[in-house]
Amino acid sequence: MSATAAAGRFDNHWSYAEEVEVLTFDLNGETFALEAVIVQEILDLLPETAVPGSQPFVASVINFRGKVIPLADLRLAFGMEAAEATIDSRIIVIEIDLQGEQTLVGLRTDKVNEVTTLAKTASEAPPSIGMRWRADYINCLVKRGGEFIILPNLQAIFSSRRDAAGAAS
């Protein structure tokens, strides 16, 4: 991805405000954040039903208020090892626009931390080199205290996975 495209994606994330309210959560020792407005609910772990032939990243579905929704493991999208559930593990149910359609998705997490406000002035575009993850999967990094909080680009993650699934069939 060109530096111009990365900068455009980064700027668009903050185009409407100097601050954004987010829900932070942990995956494999890293702190991630989602815009609070897309979060529908935080759930304890639920029974999962495996979907044969699906991508490992979205290998199962759950029953959310009578609806069957995909359960995604962002660890696998980011190339991390799958992890066993712990007492702190939760599912964050989000609603995002995927190719013009509002879609409910469950995200498996190691731990949900807090709702907080992040400032644009503390954010940076992901570096173009030296990243262990695909740069287009990250909207930006926000420095808070001595750590970076990663804001994932869910549209890029789910769109590329959907494209890969379509190409495989």
Q: Per residue in 122-169, pLDDT tens?
A: 998 887 776 677 788 999 999 998 899 999 999 999 886 554 444 444
pLDDT value at residue 17? 76
Count the domains in the chain: 1
Domain span including residue 65: 3-168
CA distance 147 to 20: 18
Which CATH number do you get for residue 48?
2.40.50.180
The DSSP symbol for 126 reads P
Burial of 86 (0-12, 13-18, 19+ CB in 10 A): exposed
pLDDT for 99 equals 86
Please give the sequence-ordered ranges of beta strands (E in DSSP) within 18-169, or none if there are none.
Answer: 19-27, 30-35, 39-43, 49-50, 60-64, 67-72, 90-98, 101-109, 111-119, 123-124, 138-144, 147-152
Residue pLDDT, tens place only, 47-88: 999 999 988 899 999 999 999 999 999 999 998 998 999 999
Q: How far apart are CA 43 and CA 112, in angstroms?
A: 10
